[in-house]
Homo-oligomer: A and B are copies of this chain.
Amino acid sequence: MNTEDQDTRWMNVAVKLAEKGVGLTSPNPCVGAVIVHENQVIGSGFHEKAGLPHAERKAIADGTARGNAALFADSTLYVTLEPCSTTGKTPPCTEAILEHHFKRVVYGSQDPNPRHRGAAADILGRAGIQVTRGILEKECDHLIRGFRLNMLEGRPWVIAKSAMSLDGRISRSPERSQWLTNEKSRSFVHTLRAECDAILTGGNTMRLDNPSLTIRKPDRPVSSLKEQPWRIILTHNAASIPADSVCLTDEFRDRTLIVENVSSYLELLKNLYNERKTGTVLLEAGGCLVREFLKAGLVDEWVGFYAPIITGGGADGVTGGSFLEREAFLEQPVVSIFGSDVCIRGDVSYR
């Protein structure tokens, strides 16, 4: 394998590590790192939570614990995101890299944080460390799509989730099962919740479905560090939310907020990000609220489940009316199969 193939191979390992941090790290990005010496991983780590060490320091600590510190000077550090170069809750990672005289540093994404952007390459380069950037950049950028938006627009990344019939409806006649989608799909929704810092829903969903919005049955293991996401209920009248709702009475009731009469969804999102560090928000709501967010251009990612049922009636997944001024397009949608259900997921662009 040539150097480029090697770089891609090891960066891929770093990406997989970073993915373990999805949903845990807000307001920080998820980052993975591996230290490679003569084609062997001698240390690895990922960022697990804001306040805990960054991925680079985790990898260095791991390599040190494994007795490999003496090899660092002849090793390459692969990290999905440009190492930070300023002091936050933890000291800059560039310092740790310099301390251990790494031979080479390879990173994927440039840090969208204006305080760091592009600085690491200079700092490391001046110390004689070889720096290569942009390896698996697309994949690394995807990992931090929420974080980038947080930095650029000061608001959370919004994932809208909808579970529909083949004719775009989200409800069934009252005598039928509450659910359209199957258990596998619903289990994936629990995993999706684990990717997020808050779940937004509407008063109507609370009154009709009384959801718990918890991570009870994820289809993949969820870190013990994951907290119950905030549950944000948007309503015109707080008193209309039944006092015995699951979200208001269960063990996580202190993670539920009722917000009355929102005049700007953008302001709401900015406040959530600023006050509660919610880097990613999941919109699990009925067609009206989904439509309002789409109209405002505030759905950044779409996760749509389609159950193999035609109901012929019921509430729309996206409430109709006039066309959206800017249609919402899914970029390179990814299709997953959950039993007989289909899930179509992709980042949204408005055109």
Binding site for B on A (CB under 8 A): 164, 166-169, 172-173, 176, 291, 294-295, 302, 304, 306, 308-314, 316-318, 320-324, 327-333, 335, 337, 340, 342, 344, 346, 348
Q: A172-B323, A330-B340, A332-B340 are in contact. List 10 more A-B contacts (CB 8 A).
A: A166-B302, A166-B330, A167-B168, A172-B327, A306-B306, A308-B329, A311-B323, A312-B320, A313-B321, A335-B335
CB-based nearest B residue for A332: B340
8 smallest CB-CB distances across A and B, nearest first, come from A168-B168, A312-B324, A308-B330, A167-B318, A310-B328, A173-B323, A313-B323, A308-B333
How many protomers of this protein does the assembly include? 2
Name 7 interchain pairs, CB-CB below 8 A, sorted by A. A166-B330, A173-B323, A176-B327, A312-B322, A312-B327, A313-B321, A342-B342
> Which residue in B164, B304, B313, B340 is a CB contact (below 8 Å) of A324?
B313
The answer to whether B312 touches A291, judged by C-beta atoms less than 8 angstroms apart, is yes
- In the complex, A41 Cα to B310 Cα: how many Å? 45
> Which residue in B164, B172, B308, B322 is a CB contact (below 8 Å) of A346?
B308
Which residues of chain B are within 8 angstroms of A166 by Cβ–Cβ distance? 168, 302, 304, 330, 344
- The answer to whether A295 and B312 touch (CB under 8 A), given A168-B164, A168-B167, A340-B330, is yes
